[in-house]
Amino acid sequence: MTLPPWRLLGVLLLSSLFVLSPASRAADQTALVQLVEYVGADYINAVQDGEIVSEAEYAEMDEFSALLSEGIAALPEADGKDTLLRQARELEAAVDNKAPEARIQGLAQKIRGSLVDVYGLPVVPKQAPDMAAAEQLYQSHCLACHGREGYGDGPAGASLEPAPTDFHERARYMGRSLLGLYTTITGGVDGTGMAAYQETLSDADRWALAFYVGSMAVDQEEAAAGQQALADNPELKTDMSLDTVIAKAPADARDAYGDDALAAMGYLRSEPAALFSQNRFVEISAAKLREADEAYAAGDRAAARSAALSAYLDGFEMLESQIAALDSGLMRDTERKFMAVREAIQEGDPADEVSARIADALEGLGQAADALGGDGLNAAATFSASFFILFREGLEALLIVAALLTFTRKAGATSATRHIHFGWFAAILAGIATWFAASTVINFSGASREMTEGVAGLVAAVILFYVGFWMHSNSNSQKWLGYLKGKVDTALGSGTVWTLTFVAFISVYREMFETILFYQALWTQVTEATQPFLLYGMGAALVALAVVCVLIFRLGMKLPLGLFFKATSLVLLVLSVILLGKGIAALQEAGMLNSNYLPGWPTLEWVGFFPTLQGALAQAVAVVLAVLAWWRSGRSAARA
């Protein structure tokens, strides 16, 4: 078995690009957002009535507009980039011609919107900003320049040129997005007194400050009107999504959705917790399902499919782990209903049948919302959910790693044993790093999470199938077994050792990835009184896994090497079929693979069976290949 480990590692690295590539471009894009917003907001300080009023400010506007064109030209190719670049050059020319402020602000607004539309939102907050903490941050970091109330009248700001921003200035408020404020706080502004806080403040703190200063121009009356408008208008509530509130300036929202959206923007900036409630994900999902229904009835299958996929990934999938912690059966049943909607659209079913499936999905979504509407999990439910998350996710990885370690120890392969330990330990470190990144750096969307799980599952399935077949093909070779006992490290070879290491790594990392997501969701469902029971459940699961591990080692060490090879190969082949099913299901949920639901068939998560035609066929083919490989290996041994 000499499969080069770097090829396998390359597959995993390619899978990580699904998650990391948007984040890797975020710094460039946020810098461009900052440039265009700065030009739009500060041009008035450089030019008035076609005359330059500040040479320094005008030089800065001229430089920034040119940098904006250069930065957009350097972005990756995408549909709409040509329009975006044309808008940037129009802005550059308008600055050169000392155009009126309204012209500059209009172009800046278009460019900001085009950046988000063409390249997506580069960053969003991971949790609801803490406005009380933001007030304290403002007092300690911003008061000296911007003043106690944010009017730009701080003692240290009197000598600054340009003067510190007055956050109550209505015209400036109308033209600044929260994304632009966040990028300014993060990177600062060269040539001004605005320092960069990327190193001194956490991502969450910078978002909290952006919301805090971005809401200073909002009075209580406007916020109350916005709250009422959202309560009275479900469509407006859907329009004012987290992405909209982050990426659009108040003027953008007013122009796109009407005057009520301006008040709603003020309320959501003042009360950002409303953007992060579980109900909003339910509302997003329901709205997208209705959008899919309308699009399909109008004959637009592509738009209907896109909306149906968004209903799952941007709505229900964000709550899936939390629902599973409360009622896994309800979660799977609702998930199947969403899949049935996508299947009906994909197959071109009659509009009334699609509407019926959408109604079923809405019903399941309502049941899920009711389940989430309680006061959190009680002690028993918290303990059991915590126990089964870790035990279930850890068992698959444990079976693989324990089988490999038992094999190498039984054969006396000390070098291979060390490498396998290195593999699973590195996976744990990678899992912790992933958790940190998911909390602070990278925004794992629903699609990116499912794609990462799916690709990792398929890679693990292929490798486990290969290792299992290799073990079984050598289980009857007495010459091989004898040689293995005497010179096992030499017999295995470096390629085999590193492949076993990679098996240990990817098997553990995939389960770590899922476990992290489940525990993050579970944490939102426990109360302060039941939090200790989450830790008790984890402890009990670790003890149970340790017992299973000891039993595997004791049983494995007592078996003859040939029989152990056969037993281990069978375990690995079965696990490869399970991971294959889970990987396909994850890619189907991400919309990367089509899915045809098999009505009446059960979901058997423990064996990786999810009732879709694609998953069932793939697992059936894998089983047939495993049986044929087993039979052929046995015949070869009998002839020998």
Residue 480: exposed, middle, or buried by beta-carbon count in 10 A (0-12, 13-18, 19+)? middle
The per-residue pLDDT of the chain, averaged, comes to: 77
- Record the pTM: 0.49
Would you state the pLDDT for residue 12? Answer: 35
Band of pLDDT at residue 373, cut at 50, 70 and 90: low
Least confident residue range of 13-17, 131-135, 313-317, 467-471: 13-17
pLDDT tops 70 at residue 4: no
How much is the pLDDT for 19?
Answer: 36
Looking at beta carbons, which pairs linking 61-69 to residues 24 or more positions away fall under 8 Å? 61/95, 62/95, 62/96, 64/35, 64/38, 64/39, 65/39, 65/91, 65/92, 65/95, 66/92, 67/35, 68/32, 68/35, 68/36, 68/39, 68/92, 68/111
CA 425 to CA 509: how far, in whole Å? Answer: 10
Helix boundaries (H) for 441-487? 446-474, 478-486
Residue 561 has pLDDT above 60, yes or no: no
What tokens does 329 get? 């059966």
Please state, for a pLDDT cut of 90, what percent of the chain lies above it.
Answer: 14
Residue type, 440: T
Measured between alpha carbons, how far is 627 from 621 in angstroms, rounded to an integer? 10
The CB density around residue 450, as the number of other CB atoms within 10 Å, is: 24
437-455 pLDDT per residue, tens: 655 544 454 555 566 666 7
Q: Which amino acid is at 107?
A: L
107 vs 405 pLDDT, higher one: 107
**Could you tell me which residue, 269 or 465, shows the higher pLDDT?**
269
Most trustworthy range by pLDDT among 150-159, 366-375, 400-409: 150-159
pLDDT at 638: 56
pLDDT in tens, 203-257: 888 999 999 999 999 999 999 999 999 888 877 877 887 878 888 889 888 988 8
pLDDT of residue 321: 64
Among the ranges 276-285, 307-316, 519-528, 593-602, which has the highest mean pLDDT value? 307-316
Is 475 or 40 the better-scoring residue by pLDDT? 40
- Output the pLDDT for position 605: 67
pLDDT surpasses 80 at 487: no
Residue 477 has pLDDT above 60, yes or no: no
Instruction: Name the pLDDT band for 634 (thresholds 50, 70, 90).
Output: low
* Alpha carbons 415 and 420: distance in angstroms, whole number: 9
Indicate the DSSP class of residue 74: T
Q: Which tens digit of pLDDT belongs to each residue from 87-142?
A: 999 999 999 999 998 898 888 878 877 887 777 656 677 677 889 999 999 999 99
User: Would you state the pLDDT for residue 529?
Assistant: 74
Looking at residue 454, its pLDDT comes to: 63
pLDDT, tens only, 563-615: 666 776 777 777 778 778 777 877 776 667 777 767 777 767 667 777 778 88
Residue-level pLDDT at 22: 38
Share of residues in the chain with pLDDT > 70 (%): 75
Give the pLDDT score at 260. 92
Higher-scoring residue by pLDDT: 66, 19: 66
Residues making up the chain, counted from first to last: 640
